[in-house]
Amino acid sequence: MIQYEQFTLDNGLRVFVHEDATTPLAAVNILYNVGSRDEDPGRTGFAHLFEHLMFGGSQHIPSYDEPLQRVGGENNAFTSPDITNYYITLPAANLETAFWLESDRMLSLSFDPQVLEVQRKVVIEEFKQRYLNQPYGDVWLKLRPLAYQQHPYQWATIGKDISHIENATLDDVRSFFFRYYLPNNAVLVVAGNVTVEEVKQLCARWFAPIPAGAPYVRQLPQEAVQHEARKLETSAKVPLNALYKAWHMPGRFEPNFQTTDLLSDMLGRSKSSRLYQQLLRDNPLFSNIGAYITSSLDPGLLVVQGTLNEGISLEEADAAVESVIQEFIDQAVPDEELTKVKNQAEATLAFSEVELLNRAMNLAYAANAGDPELVNQEAAHIQAVTPDDVQQMARQVLRPENCSTLYYRVA
């Protein structure tokens, strides 16, 4: 259970405080309500580019890292299709340094043309290294637009095309910043050896003077229900043929999300999962195989992926996966199998909350989704899932017409 208190500044910044006097540290997590799903289809990759630009200096602070390092702090950030998240951990005695740094870059980025050029090159190189120049790296550049045909989840966080970043201008950057990087489009979580009163005073000094901007009202095209199976084949110089299958599933805080998550665990989370036992141990068609979910805020994907052993055709491997899936649809789910994955899920949840920073991030994510108390309801939702629930979701999600399949062949 994550205890917290909350308040909202006049400029719309929502602030959450999680007090923990057992640690000498503080975590400052600021989540901006913008991800790759919010981008213009002709200018993708901007949310991720901004993650880099935000470390390039702000109005009064030319170097972000140096003052933080001097007070024993660390920082990082990440971008997802749904959010952009920045975080700092530092000794609680030096908490104000984090407020100074984060408020200054919220107030105004430097918009230095040289910084844009440097970070543009960094992102382009990342695009090449991670997506274009490594085996199977372009899978999500192909699988996302296959599975999503209306929703902007159809492009990866890095962007649709490298040219979108290559052609980004300073005007594009300014427009993006002043639309999304606003106090009324952010959630601030301060956790650790802090007090609510201390955080209120620091917010009044550093964040309250920042003016609010126009409210961002998200109006995204929603993905229609998929009524026909989709298939794509591609090839490249990869070591082995690979199979990818994706089914649409509920969003992160929608009903039946936990049920589908547990379903994916039973399918392919560990060596005791059905896919591993049947298609790697007993009948070794695959050299590796697993299942996972994307955990998107909007309806996401349940994914099965694996690389095949030599001499096994993609058609044979695909049919074998479909056979394992059909068992879920046709046969009752054993209580002991569900109990095992429930215990694994709860253990993962408990361990994740040991870390102070994880607590801060989880609270920010739930608050941004609309209800901070969602962060404390996960375990109860997991325990409430029944074997019948799992079988019902298998029948609803794992329908052949709800599936997008990618065959990745050795060139």
Condensed to tens digits (0 to 9), the pLDDT of residues 30-42 reads 999 999 999 999 9
CATH number, domain of 327, equals 3.30.830.10
Which CA distances in Å does 277 have to 263, 271, 287, 321, 353?
15, 7, 12, 12, 31
Is 220 inside a domain boundary? no
Is the same domain home to 246 and 179? no
Over residues 201-244, the pLDDT tens digits come to 999 999 999 999 999 999 999 999 999 999 999 999 999 999 99
Q: Which residues pair with 17 in a beta bridge?
A: 5, 190
Position 161 scores a pLDDT of: 92
Is the same domain home to 330 and 189? no
pLDDT at 57 over 90: no
234 closest CA partner among 89, 81, 411: 411
Position 56 scores a pLDDT of: 87
Is the same domain home to 191 and 275? no
- Answer for the pair 240, 286: CB distance below 8 angstroms, yes or no: no
Is the same domain home to 201 and 237? no
Query: What percentage of residues in the chain have a pLDDT greater than 90?
Result: 94
Range of the domain at 370: 230-410
SS3 10: coil
Position 59 scores a pLDDT of: 82
Over residues 284-318, the pLDDT tens digits come to 999 999 999 999 999 999 999 999 999 999 999 99
| Long-range contacts at 131-134 (CB < 8 A, ≥ 24 apart) | 131/156, 131/158, 132/162
Over residues 150-191, the pLDDT tens digits come to 999 999 999 999 999 999 998 998 999 999 999 999 999 999
148 closest CA partner among 306, 21, 43, 301: 301
Is the same domain home to 262 and 117? no
pLDDT at 259 over 90: yes
Position 123 scores a pLDDT of: 95
Number of domains in the chain: 2
| Reported pTM | 0.95
Is the same domain home to 78 and 196? yes
* Mean pLDDT confidence for 125-132: 94
* Mean pLDDT confidence for 334-345: 96
Is the same domain home to 69 and 175? yes
Position 368 scores a pLDDT of: 97
Which CA distances in Å does 171 have to 49, 79, 116, 220, 262?
14, 21, 11, 24, 45
Is 214 inside a domain boundary? no
Is the same domain home to 363 and 279? yes
Over residues 194-204, the pLDDT tens digits come to 999 999 999 99
* Mean pLDDT confidence for 95-100: 98
Q: Which residues pair with 361 in a beta bridge?
A: none
